[in-house]
Chain A
Amino acid sequence: MARRIGFTVLLALALIAPFVVSGYRTFELTTIIVDAIALLGLNILMGYNGQISIGHSAFYAIGAYTVAIMTVRFGLPYWIAVPSAGAVCFAAGILFGLPALRLGGSHLALATFALAVAMPQLLKYKLIDPWTGGTLGMSLKKPDVPWDLPLNRDQFLYFICLAVALVMFAVGRNLVGGRIGRAMVAVRDQPIAAAAMGVDTAMVKTKTFGVSALYTGVAGALGAIVAQYVAPDSFTFLLSITFVVGIVIGGAGTISGAIYGAIFIGLVPDFASKISKAAPWALYGACLIVCVYLMPTGIHGVIRLVRAKFMPTTSR
């Protein structure tokens, strides 16, 4: 009950927010929503399935470039380009996952690490320059507001992202809450027992990797539209680390953790960078280590603890 009220309040706030706050704040909120989708994708992989990826910036980049190439070079509309970006990333995730997933744990982390570091260079590759725009990247236009809606472009984009996020969160929740989700968790905690119970562990891992890449790819596509710009150097290894920070702080293996994490990585660097250029990253690093030791369930876990302490009847 408390959870439903909390969700309704949050949704109501999200719906009125762009009419109350400034244009720049709307842009920030849109970024947070987009990040939340990416974090949900990584959380399905790392939190629920226990596979480590520190290369999700690569899938975010593929999503962003797919949308940019389709709309700028081929003039396709956004409502085709964004789902296509998801599909391309799903395929990329499966393709990369197939070989890499035969190996567990840190070997997969290593393969994704190499992918993340190589991605900016791959995007600068000369032969694909005509499509990608090389080092300079590409500029995108914000979508026009259709049907004379009483919104400006920023607000319209905000609501589009919010709608996509709602759908993707609903799908994600059902996915991890059902049979497939239980199989994911079983593969994470007891791979041998899961296999003995008839779970095709390799298939579950591969598909989870694909779905995770799809989520991150859609986020990348929306992110490219929001930023109106794609360039190889926006998708470095540091972006991958940011995602990991987001899910670790928000709460690994939880749906709402993705939202808390997105708020954290959306707001905190702004404050921290006032201290020094290095401060946000130092803070990220400290947060990662502190979280592992002191709050392994992240903000989500802390909120649940507090709720259980002060509202014992509504905690469940």
Chain B
Amino acid sequence: MAQLLHQLATGLSAGSIYASVALALVMIYRSTGHMNFAQGEMATLSTFIAITLLDRGVPYWATFLITVSVAFAGGALVERILIRPLADAPERLMVTVFLGLFMICNSLGGWLWSYETRAFPSPFDGLRFLDNAYETPHDLGAMAVIVLLMAAIFVFFQYTSTGLAMRGATENPMSSRLVGVAVGRMSALGWGLAAAVGAVAGMMVAPTVFLEPNMMATILVYGFAGALLGGIDNPWGAVAGGFIVGILENILGVYVIGTEMRMSVALVLIVGTLVVRPDGLFGRHKVVRV
């Protein structure tokens, strides 16, 4: 029983990371209609920026803020420079661009920093009062940060006029433009936010998995599995999906298939969702007019 609880706790903290990646993926899917295969590598690059700042002696939370802002600007720039000119291009060209972005971010990380695995500090490690039987202080703290982040995003989308404009722009770009919403700026904003969320996920996961250029590769697959399971067009579904994937992966990994086969959980979940319920658990069915 204790072991099961322990696995559940591990699953939850892994799930919070997957949920944040899934949320970032959904934000990009909703703002530009693409699956961003470079999401994980963009997050890794942000984490590299963070470690450079930390190495220079910048305090942790200042680093955190700077990194998130830089990631936000970078994401918006990528949208403006690479994605928007291809708005009407076929999907295969978009995937090609994402793969290109994936490779560039990945190799920049290796080139400018290094391919060697290195430790990344956690701001929660010294906190005695977080000690408990099931979770490390870092996992608890990271989960808290991510939950706070999600709450902030929820408030932003639900209660601010910019959030409303963003929702409108994804729902019906034409009508939004007619009522004066800058639709292009909204999708840049969506990309920026997604990159910022990714940066937070990167900094929160790096103390656990250690920092190296391919750090986010498997996490991205789990994030995709979560997003798809919850519904790729539904942010809250994707968050729920991320947590479900985290728990499933840990429970199944320990009790059923063995830890070295964990990756196949993601594969089965992705293919299974696509076959059985392509819109995900909480997604909406898309009807296309011919």
Contact = CB atoms under 8 A, between A and B. Distances in A.
Contacts of A104: 91
A125 B82 CA distance: 40
Interface in A172-195: 192
Nearest to B265: A118
A234 to B, nearest CB: 16
Contacts of B218: 117
A104 B263 CA distance: 24
B103 A288 contact: yes
Contact of B92 (A52, A124, A277): A52
Given A52-B91, A192-B290, 18 more contacts: A99-B274, A100-B275, A103-B274, A107-B274, A107-B278, A110-B228, A111-B271, A118-B264, A121-B261, A126-B258, A278-B108, A282-B107, A284-B103, A285-B99, A285-B105, A285-B107, A286-B100, A289-B101
A282 B111 contact: yes
Interface string B250-290: 00000000101111101100110011001000000000001
A287 B96 CA distance: 10
B93 interface: yes
Nearest to B264: A118
Contacts of A114: 221, 224-225, 266-267, 270-271
A50 B104 contact: no
B98 to A, nearest CB: 9
10 contacts: A111-B274, A113-B224, A118-B266, A118-B267, A244-B96, A277-B111, A277-B115, A282-B107, A284-B103, A292-B100
Interface string B105-127: 11110110001000000000000
Contacts of B96: 244, 248, 288-289, 291-292
A122 interface: yes
B276 to A, nearest CB: 9
A202 to B, nearest CB: 14
Interface of B: 34-35, 37, 82, 85-86, 89-97, 99-108, 110-111, 115, 217-218, 221, 224-225, 228, 258, 260-264, 266-267, 270-271, 274-275, 278, 290
A169 interface: no
Contacts of A286: 100, 104
Interface size class of A (residues with CB under 8 A): 35 or more
Nearest to A50: B92
B270 A121 contact: no
B275 A117 contact: no
Report the 5 A-B pairs with minimum CB-CB distance, sorted nearest first.
A285-B103, A288-B100, A105-B91, A285-B104, A278-B111
B94 A106 contact: yes
Interface of B is mostly: helix
A83 to B, nearest CB: 28
B31 to A, nearest CB: 15
A288 B270 contact: no
B93 A115 contact: no
A122 to B, nearest CB: 6
Output the residue of A110, A252, A282, A296 with the most chain B CB within 10 A.
A110
Contacts of B275: 99-100, 102
A114 to B, nearest CB: 4
A115 B290 contact: no
Nearest to B94: A106
A107 B37 CA distance: 11
A288 B99 contact: yes
B217 A117 contact: yes
Contacts of A51: 92
A237 B264 CA distance: 14
Interface string A14-43: 000000000000000000000000000000
A308 interface: no
Given A237-B217, A285-B101, A296-B93, A121 B264 contact: yes
Given A125-B261, A285-B101, A103 B37 contact: no
Contacts of A276: 111
A248 B91 CA distance: 14
Interface centre among B103, B104, B263, B278 (most CB of A within 10 A): B103
Contacts of B108: 278, 282
A279 interface: yes
A282 B91 contact: no
B95 A106 contact: yes
A276 to B, nearest CB: 6
A199 interface: no
Contacts of A99: 271, 274-275
Nearest to B89: A292
B37, B262, B290 interface centre (most CB from chain A within 10 Å): B37
A111 B86 contact: no
A244 B34 CA distance: 18
B102 A111 contact: no
A287 B100 CA distance: 7
A98 B86 CA distance: 30
Interface centre among B37, B100, B105 (most CB of A within 10 A): B100
A46 B100 CA distance: 16
Contacts of B263: 117-118, 121-122
Contacts of B261: 121-122, 125
